[in-house]
Amino acid sequence: MDVIRGKVKDIVLKHDASRIVQTVVKWGRQKERDEIAAELKGKYRELAQNKYSKFLVTKLIRLSPTHRPEILMEFRSHVLRLLLHREASSVLADAFELYANAYERTILVRDFYGKEAALFSGGEDREKAKRGLQGVLDGLDTEPRRRILTATKESLTTVFNNPDKGAVTHAIVHRALWEYLTAVNEYPDEAEREKQRREMFECCQDVLTEMVHTKDGSRVVREFLAFGTAKERKVILKTLKPHIERMCLDDEAQLVLFTALDVIDDTKNLAKTLICEMTSPAPKLYTSPQGRRALFYLLVPRCRRHFTPAQIATLVETDAAREQTSKKAADVRSEEVRRAASDALIEWVAKNAETIVREPGGSLVVAEVMLYADGDKSAATKSLLSVFASPYPSADASSPHLIDLPHASRLYKTLLQGGHFNHTTKSIDRASGWDAQSFAVQFVDIVGHDVCVAMCTKGEGNGAFVVAELCEALCGDGADQDDAARAQVKGWFGPEAIREVENGTAKGKKVLLEKIAAL
């Protein structure tokens, strides 16, 4: 610091010397950081545009919070120019996305509103400023509102007309665009709303894939889907198609896909362009929470088992627009989507049952596919029961029997129950597309005596609960066809087997003995 003090402005523009200053900022104390930040005051816009010193600016924004507002203020009224600058663009993007607080973000976005907006921005009224464009427009007459919105539109058009500069990927642009569309929705004239929305869509339709990864960008694309015509929705799907697999794995981007499934009436086109692109990468998707959600939305959209209240609330935002722009009933559309996705998912389970079921997340997906998918599930059922029928206990300690995996045993118990347990009603929500009794009969045939009895007498408890559920399923209403299977299971548990169960350590032995007695 003694060597560089007073000369920082000169050396930060040089490719080797600037790294020395960056190192001081990175490893020094707060005192040194603040001293360097103070010395560079007034030069930050110039530094952000230099290919060497731009890294120092980002470090100071991150590591010198007391000087952060001053640094960002130096960018004020130059934001658009900096966004379209090859070097400065990344500095501004990082400042907005990673380090700025809510008020500082609004300061940066304000440049999109044009010069006139500065007159109505409410000075330094922080609460009003945090409301962004809406805070500027509140209380203004029609003409000033129109001029500010026109200026905002022109700023956005400038960015979209220069996609090679990279600014279209940045969250600050998506925030400005979302604020613009929100303001347009408040136009009293519906024809004018449609006109402004269409013009903006035409301006940015080629770069929609660059927006879906941020919260505001995702909201923008969902807005275009919700209010778009059938033709516009087709264009959006065509643009998104090459990126669908990656979108399934992103928290914000996948909401765009879910909205497309919610609002598009042409389910035949949806099946060809979107649904098949979501089901074919299922082997890659089911191992992550995001990927599983993408598969769940095809079968059980907005189900509270798999979607948080916040995610459901976000998806509900487009429902009002859907009522105006879509013709099909929501339940009819979701039924058609489920039907279009079912065959591919059932086939995937049939071919990869053991691999999927051994994954905790995979067993969740299998449960929903078996309970709610439409189509012939006989091959998938046979695969699931065949892997379950391996000798118990497993000879390979590194690959335990499925009954010893809690998530797998829960899956088979759920399938024998015929649905998920509802904690509110304390009962089973039975799935209409699943025959638990038929599954129970096949369970008896394929899994057989040795494995079932061994699970109840040698295991720690999971087997007892699953076999108890098997007995319950065989005793269900209309189970006359299952007399043979019921008698078979009763024969498995003769006096000797019953004694083994009673003397065993299985947690569910009491429940099991009651169910066997009821056979």
The pLDDT tens digits for 11-61 are 888 888 889 999 999 999 999 999 999 999 999 999 999 988 999 999 999
* CA 514 – CA 349 distance, rounded (Å): 34
- Kindly state the average pLDDT of the residues 78-90: 93
User: Residue ranges of the domains in the chain?
Assistant: 389-519
At 135 the pLDDT is 83
Q: Label residue 124 by pLDDT band (50, 70, 90).
A: low
Collapsed DSSP state (helix, strand, coil) of residue 463: helix
Under 8 Å between Cβ of 504 and 456: yes
pTM of the model: 0.90
- Kindly state the average pLDDT of the residues 310-332: 93
Per-residue pLDDT at 189 exceeds 60: yes
Q: To which H or E segment does residue 169 belong?
A: none
At 126 the pLDDT is 66
For 147, list phi and psi in degrees, rounded to 5: -65, -40
At 460 the pLDDT is 67
At 85 the pLDDT is 93
- For all residues of the chain together, what is the average pLDDT? 90
* CA 473 – CA 253 distance, rounded (Å): 42
At 494 the pLDDT is 84
Q: Label residue 480 by pLDDT band (50, 70, 90).
A: low
At 481 the pLDDT is 56
For 270, list phi and psi in degrees, rounded to 5: -60, -40
In the chain, the amino acid numbered 3 is V
- Kindly state the average pLDDT of the residues 132-152: 87
Summarised one tens digit per residue, pLDDT across range 208-253 is 999 999 999 999 999 999 999 999 999 999 999 999 999 999 999 9
> What Cα–Cα distance (Å) separates residue 394 from each residue in 165, 382, 388, 410, 458?
59, 20, 11, 19, 11
Burial of 258 (C-beta count, 10 Å sphere; 0-12/13-18/19+)? buried
